[in-house]
Amino acid sequence: MQAKAGRPAGMRGLRALVVATLVILTAQGWFGDTVNIFIAPPNGVTPPAPTLSGFLSAVTSLSPPFLLVWHTYEGVALVVLAIAVFVRSFATSRSLGVRVWATLGLLAMLSAALGGYFFVMSGFKDGGNSAQMDGSYIAAYACYFLTLYYTK
Protein backbone atom coordinates (compact mmCIF):
# COMPACT_ATOMS: atom_id res chain seq x y z
CA MET A 1 0.00 0.00 0.00
CA GLN A 2 1.42 3.36 -1.03
CA ALA A 3 1.14 6.42 1.14
CA LYS A 4 -0.48 9.42 -0.49
CA ALA A 5 1.96 12.25 -1.03
CA GLY A 6 1.09 15.43 0.90
CA ARG A 7 0.61 18.82 -0.63
CA PRO A 8 3.72 20.87 -1.26
CA ALA A 9 4.39 23.53 1.36
CA GLY A 10 3.67 26.32 -1.14
CA MET A 11 0.21 24.92 -1.86
CA ARG A 12 -0.53 24.56 1.88
CA GLY A 13 0.44 28.22 2.30
CA LEU A 14 -1.86 29.24 -0.54
CA ARG A 15 -4.74 27.27 0.98
CA ALA A 16 -4.10 28.93 4.35
CA LEU A 17 -4.23 32.37 2.71
CA VAL A 18 -7.48 31.51 0.97
CA VAL A 19 -9.03 30.22 4.21
CA ALA A 20 -7.92 33.39 6.05
CA THR A 21 -9.46 35.47 3.25
CA LEU A 22 -12.75 33.58 3.54
CA VAL A 23 -12.85 33.99 7.32
CA ILE A 24 -12.22 37.74 7.08
CA LEU A 25 -14.74 38.03 4.23
CA THR A 26 -17.34 36.47 6.52
CA ALA A 27 -16.66 39.04 9.24
CA GLN A 28 -16.61 41.78 6.60
CA GLY A 29 -20.11 40.81 5.51
CA TRP A 30 -21.45 40.99 9.06
CA PHE A 31 -19.85 44.37 9.74
CA GLY A 32 -20.96 45.73 6.36
CA ASP A 33 -24.57 44.70 6.89
CA THR A 34 -24.55 46.17 10.39
CA VAL A 35 -23.18 49.49 9.13
CA ASN A 36 -25.57 49.70 6.16
CA ILE A 37 -28.67 48.70 8.12
CA PHE A 38 -28.13 50.20 11.57
CA ILE A 39 -25.41 52.90 11.40
CA ALA A 40 -25.54 54.71 8.03
CA PRO A 41 -28.29 57.34 7.98
CA PRO A 42 -31.15 56.35 5.63
CA ASN A 43 -30.96 59.64 3.73
CA GLY A 44 -27.18 59.89 3.81
CA VAL A 45 -25.08 62.85 4.85
CA THR A 46 -23.43 65.72 3.00
CA PRO A 47 -20.82 64.16 0.70
CA PRO A 48 -17.25 64.70 1.91
CA ALA A 49 -14.58 66.62 0.05
CA PRO A 50 -13.09 64.48 -2.74
CA THR A 51 -9.80 63.95 -0.92
CA LEU A 52 -8.28 61.22 1.24
CA SER A 53 -8.87 63.48 4.23
CA GLY A 54 -12.54 63.82 3.23
CA PHE A 55 -12.86 60.05 2.94
CA LEU A 56 -11.26 59.45 6.36
CA SER A 57 -13.45 62.15 7.89
CA ALA A 58 -16.59 60.51 6.46
CA VAL A 59 -15.52 57.08 7.73
CA THR A 60 -15.20 58.41 11.28
CA SER A 61 -18.30 60.61 11.11
CA LEU A 62 -20.92 57.97 11.82
CA SER A 63 -21.94 57.19 15.37
CA PRO A 64 -20.52 54.93 16.70
CA PRO A 65 -17.53 55.24 14.37
CA PHE A 66 -15.93 51.92 15.43
CA LEU A 67 -18.02 49.69 13.16
CA LEU A 68 -17.38 51.61 9.93
CA VAL A 69 -13.71 52.13 10.79
CA TRP A 70 -13.36 48.39 11.45
CA HIS A 71 -15.18 47.61 8.19
CA THR A 72 -12.80 49.93 6.33
CA TYR A 73 -9.67 48.35 7.82
CA GLU A 74 -10.99 44.87 7.07
CA GLY A 75 -11.54 45.99 3.48
CA VAL A 76 -7.94 47.16 3.18
CA ALA A 77 -6.71 43.89 4.72
CA LEU A 78 -8.86 41.92 2.26
CA VAL A 79 -7.38 43.75 -0.73
CA VAL A 80 -3.88 42.95 0.57
CA LEU A 81 -4.87 39.29 1.07
CA ALA A 82 -6.39 39.17 -2.42
CA ILE A 83 -3.13 40.42 -3.90
CA ALA A 84 -1.19 37.85 -1.84
CA VAL A 85 -3.48 35.02 -3.00
CA PHE A 86 -3.14 36.18 -6.60
CA VAL A 87 0.67 36.31 -6.46
CA ARG A 88 0.93 33.04 -4.54
CA SER A 89 -1.43 31.27 -6.96
CA PHE A 90 0.92 31.98 -9.84
CA ALA A 91 4.03 31.22 -7.79
CA THR A 92 2.93 27.87 -6.35
CA SER A 93 0.33 26.37 -8.65
CA ARG A 94 0.23 25.30 -12.26
CA SER A 95 -3.52 24.75 -12.10
CA LEU A 96 -5.43 26.98 -14.49
CA GLY A 97 -8.44 26.77 -12.15
CA VAL A 98 -6.45 28.12 -9.19
CA ARG A 99 -5.00 30.96 -11.25
CA VAL A 100 -8.28 31.96 -12.92
CA TRP A 101 -10.33 31.95 -9.70
CA ALA A 102 -7.62 33.80 -7.75
CA THR A 103 -7.52 36.44 -10.50
CA LEU A 104 -11.30 36.77 -10.56
CA GLY A 105 -11.30 36.94 -6.74
CA LEU A 106 -8.82 39.82 -6.85
CA LEU A 107 -10.91 41.67 -9.43
CA ALA A 108 -14.08 41.14 -7.37
CA MET A 109 -12.30 42.35 -4.23
CA LEU A 110 -11.07 45.49 -6.01
CA SER A 111 -14.59 46.11 -7.33
CA ALA A 112 -16.04 45.76 -3.81
CA ALA A 113 -13.44 48.18 -2.42
CA LEU A 114 -14.13 50.69 -5.19
CA GLY A 115 -17.88 50.43 -4.60
CA GLY A 116 -17.33 51.02 -0.88
CA TYR A 117 -15.10 54.01 -1.52
CA PHE A 118 -17.66 55.61 -3.86
CA PHE A 119 -20.51 54.80 -1.46
CA VAL A 120 -18.73 56.68 1.34
CA MET A 121 -17.85 59.54 -1.03
CA SER A 122 -21.53 59.84 -2.04
CA GLY A 123 -22.38 60.62 1.57
CA PHE A 124 -23.76 57.08 2.06
CA LYS A 125 -26.53 57.88 -0.45
CA ASP A 126 -25.72 56.05 -3.69
CA GLY A 127 -27.49 52.71 -3.57
CA GLY A 128 -25.79 51.62 -6.80
CA ASN A 129 -22.37 51.84 -5.21
CA SER A 130 -23.65 49.96 -2.16
CA ALA A 131 -25.00 47.27 -4.49
CA GLN A 132 -21.65 47.13 -6.31
CA MET A 133 -19.89 46.64 -2.98
CA ASP A 134 -22.32 43.92 -1.93
CA GLY A 135 -22.46 42.09 -5.26
CA SER A 136 -18.70 42.14 -5.64
CA TYR A 137 -18.34 40.85 -2.08
CA ILE A 138 -20.55 37.86 -2.97
CA ALA A 139 -18.55 37.28 -6.15
CA ALA A 140 -15.26 37.39 -4.20
CA TYR A 141 -16.66 34.92 -1.69
CA ALA A 142 -17.59 32.50 -4.48
CA CYS A 143 -14.25 32.96 -6.26
CA TYR A 144 -12.24 32.15 -3.14
CA PHE A 145 -14.28 29.03 -2.43
CA LEU A 146 -13.59 27.92 -6.00
CA THR A 147 -9.89 28.78 -5.57
CA LEU A 148 -9.87 26.60 -2.47
CA TYR A 149 -11.61 23.80 -4.40
CA TYR A 150 -9.00 23.84 -7.16
CA THR A 151 -6.09 23.72 -4.70
CA LYS A 152 -7.07 20.24 -3.52
Looking at residue 2, what is its pLDDT? 53
Looking at residue 6, what is its pLDDT? 62
Q: Report yes or no on 63 lying in a domain.
A: yes
Number of domains into which the chain is organized = 1
Q: Report yes or no on 45 lying in a domain.
A: no
User: For 45, which DSSP code?
Assistant: -
Closest C-alpha among 107, 117, 123 to residue 71 = 117
Q: Report yes or no on 116 lying in a domain.
A: yes
Amino acid letter for position 38: F
Looking at residue 7, what is its pLDDT? 65
pLDDT at 92 over 50: yes
At 73-91, the pLDDT tens digits run: 999 999 999 999 999 999 9
At 109-152, the pLDDT tens digits run: 999 999 999 999 999 999 999 999 999 999 999 999 999 999 98
Q: Report yes or no on 48 lying in a domain.
A: no
At 60-75, the pLDDT tens digits run: 988 888 999 999 999 9
Q: How far apart are CA 17 and CA 73, in angstroms?
A: 18
At 7-59, the pLDDT tens digits run: 677 788 999 999 999 999 999 999 999 998 898 888 888 999 999 999 999 99
Number of H helices, E strands in the chain: 5, 0
Q: Report yes or no on 30 lying in a domain.
A: yes
Q: Report yes or no on 50 lying in a domain.
A: no
Looking at residue 23, what is its pLDDT? 97
Looking at residue 43, what is its pLDDT? 85
Q: Report yes or no on 46 lying in a domain.
A: no
Range of the domain at 67: 9-39+55-150
| pTM for the full predicted model | 0.89
Looking at residue 74, what is its pLDDT? 95
Q: Please, are residues 96 and 135 in contact by the beta-carbon 8 Å criterion?
A: no
Closest C-alpha among 144, 142, 136, 74 to residue 110 = 136
Looking at residue 3, what is its pLDDT? 44
Q: Report yes or no on 3 lying in a domain.
A: no
Q: How far is the CA of 7 from the CAs of 15, 50, 90, 94, 101, in angstroms?
A: 10, 48, 16, 13, 19
